[in-house]
Amino acid sequence: MSDFLQRVTTVKFREIQARMRRLPPAELRARIQDCPRPRDFVAALRAAAGVALIAEVKRASPSAGDLAPDLEPVTLARIYQAQGAAAVSVLTDPTFFRGHPVHLRRIRRAIRLPVLRKDFILHPYQVYEARLWGADAVLLIVAMLSQETLSELHDLALRLGLTPLVEVHDETDLARALALRPRLLGVNNRNLRTLQVDLGTTERLRPHIPKTIPLVVESGIHTPEDVHWAARQGATAILVGTALVQAKDVAAKVRSLVQAGLLATAHA
């Protein structure tokens, strides 16, 4: 594990322990009994007429620092929905992404699209949290988890009605992910050790991913041409954050990527 991932792991376990003291696991599990049923994340992506857009609410990132520190999460999510996004990804990590759980809660109540909790999920407690906060899907990063923990978190998410987005970065990750028979697979073009982006990651891994598994291409998507490229890789969806939150006209940027997904599929 890289120094960055080790630092993330240390910080996240401290956060989890602090939240467990505030809301014990037994009480957390009891509270989710009254939560609304999760929305079907995969169905929403498949229902898109073209390459679906998962639009991300993202104030900062470890690689770029502050991106849009003053963005209003609910306003942004409503723009995403109005302009044709299929789903919304919400950062809940406060340390590395300047996210917050309240962003997810408020967005889930404000829009009809399914919502992904994007965070460094390392412990079952976080999956139960995601359910309580209103998430419909959770991100599981293979490189950060042992196979035993990955399987445990994947199975728990499914039992709670959540969609696990299983994220891979290389061939080793992919082999471990495929052992789960995932409902949804993400290829992140960002190297978690160097934080550099290489679209060749998707090109290298795509031939080894069964076409029956919906594919989400993550990182490095900025333009309509990038969307056309993702379509050629057989992507079901793209996950885009930085290009949207830094756009001068967010609505126009969302429309351009959604339209590119429609055109790319039509000409496939």
pLDDT, mean over the chain: 94
**Which tokens in the block code for residue 13?**
């376990």
Say which CATH class 3-266 falls into. Answer: alpha beta
User: What residue spans define the domains of the chain?
Assistant: 3-266
- Predicted confidence (pLDDT) per residue in 28-44, tens digit: 999 999 899 999 999 99
Q: Is the pLDDT of residue 191 over 90?
A: no
Look at 98 and 2; give whichever has higher pLDDT. 98
Reported for 226-229, long-range contacts at CB under 8 A and 24+ positions apart, including other chains, are 226/199, 227/51, 227/257, 227/260, 227/261, 227/264, 228/260, 228/263, 228/264, 229/199
Point out the residues that are catalytic: 56, 58, 118, 167, 188, 218-219
* Percent share of the chain, pLDDT over 70: 98
A 10 A CB-CB count for 142 gives 24
